[in-house]
Amino acid sequence: MVNLKVNLSGLELSNPIIPASGCFGFGKEFIQYYDINILGSFCTKGTTKEARFGNDTPRIAESSCGMLNSVGLQNPGILHVVRQVLKEISSYYSKPVIANISGFSIEEYEYCAKSLRGIDNIGLIEVNISCPNVHEGGMSFGTNADMAAKVTKAVVKVADKPVYIKLSPNVTDIVSIAKACEEAGAAGICAINTLLGMRIDIKNRKPVLANITGGLSGPAVFPVALRMVYQIYKAVKIPIIGIGGISSTDDVIEMMMAGATAVQIGSMNLIDPCICKTIIEDLPERLNRLKVKDINEIIGGAH
């Protein structure tokens, strides 16, 4: 028997497979496909202080081996998530979830983290810092180390769960941002979010997305995500959740060898809703063939 259990800051997962935020809703839509209780955990849709309708459509575009989205954080708002959604989740998912929060100011992040206090079925808080800071000219919190540290400090101060900071790849030096978050008290790092991109409709000579640009995700981004996780692992001591383009069991193993303690799978859930189940079932045999008895042995194994 291969051990698949991993530990994220005290939260024990039966395996390292976690559907990523925004690609799994609040889990409910997936219970028709398989028993989602086999997942290590799952990440909830990014939630903000106020409810949001998101950006205008079209807000999804395809590209080779990937997709672009400019959903714009459509969500029902943190109070609805606390009062209704998280309670409902506990009726079909028996493990703690990872609650993903976003904000357009430090105060909004703080408000969301405070609102999530005292909720038993939250295991970790994942802070998406790819949002524009409305008080500082719209620059994303995640593209500046000082700003990333400020958000981290503010959330860690009020949160009652380990805080993982989800980094944007749209930066020159992701390592300095990861280090700033670690120094500011983050319990872990999640990497990566989507890469900024666009498509043009050649018939009407206009951008495909109403928002003009969107975030690229899916298998096309895997080597970029892998490289970033590898670099971050070298620089920080806290655990990393590897995200970006994972589409197979071997991708999971690669990402863990780069330094991830667990992984998140996003876009591939939209192509194959059973992708996480397939990988969880396939992992023991694949590790066995690689003569691995405990999945923890491979974390950072490529260094």
Rounded distance, CA 165 to CA 155, Å?
10
Among 16, 123, 239, 245, binds ligand FMN (CB under 6 A): 245
CA distance readout (Å), 40 to 87, 186, 211, 279: 19, 21, 34, 12
Q: How far is the CB of 96 from ligand FMN (least distance, A)?
A: 18
Type and span of the H or E element at 218 = none
Beta-strand ranges (E) seen in the chain are: 6-8, 11-13, 17-19, 60-63, 66-69, 97-101, 122-128, 163-166, 188-191, 195-197, 200-201, 206-207, 214-217, 240-243, 262-265
Among 95, 150, 161, 166, binds ligand FMN (CB under 6 A): 166
Q: How far is the CB of 52 from ligand FMN (least distance, A)?
A: 10
For residues 199 and 61, is the Cβ–Cβ distance under 8 A? yes
CA 46 to chain centre: 9
Instruction: Return the number of the residue (71 or 155) whose C-beta is nearest ligand FMN.
Output: 71
Cβ atoms within 10 Å of 23's Cβ, excluding its own: 18
- Binding residues among 35-54 for ligand FMN as defined by CB under 6 A: 45-46
Q: How far is the CB of 253 from ligand FMN (least distance, A)?
A: 16
Q: How far is the CB of 294 from ligand FMN (least distance, A)?
A: 25
Cβ atoms within 10 Å of 175's Cβ, excluding its own: 17
Instruction: Return the number of the residue (42 or 233) whose C-beta is nearest ligand FMN.
Output: 42
Asked about 131 being catalytic, the answer comes back as yes
Among 16, 218, 242, 300, binds ligand FMN (CB under 6 A): 218
Q: 169-208 mask for ligand FMN (x: CB under 6 A)?
A: ------------------------xx--------------
Instruction: Return the number of the residue (142 or 292) whose C-beta is nearest ligand FMN.
Output: 142
CA distance readout (Å), 101 to 151, 180, 281: 12, 19, 30
- Binding residues among 52-71 for ligand FMN as defined by CB under 6 A: 69, 71
Instruction: Return the number of the residue (27 or 292) whose C-beta is nearest ligand FMN.
Output: 27
Q: Which two tokens stand for residue 37?
A: 């209780």
Please provide the DSSP assignment of 52-81 as one string: B--SPSP-EEEETTEEEE-----B--HHHI
Instruction: Return the number of the residue (2 or 79) whose C-beta is nearest ligand FMN.
Output: 79
- Binding residues among 84-143 for ligand FMN as defined by CB under 6 A: 100, 128
Selected range binding ligand FMN among 88-96, 206-214, 242-250, 253-261, rule: CB under 6 A: 242-250
Among 159, 228, 243, 292, binds ligand FMN (CB under 6 A): 243
Selected range binding ligand FMN among 7-15, 151-159, 206-214, 261-269, rule: CB under 6 A: 261-269
Report how far apart the first and last C-alpha atoms of the chain are (Å, whole number): 26
Q: Give the amino acid at 239.
A: P
Rounded distance, CA 192 to CA 222, Å?
10
Q: Which of 23, 43, 131, 276 is catalytic?
A: 131
Q: How far is the CB of 125 from ligand FMN (least distance, A)?
A: 12
For 37, phi then psi, to 5°, come to: -65, -10
- Annotated catalytic residues are 131
**Chain positions contacting ligand FMN, by CB under 6 A:** 20-23, 45-46, 69, 71, 73, 100, 128, 166, 193-194, 217-218, 221, 243-246, 265-267
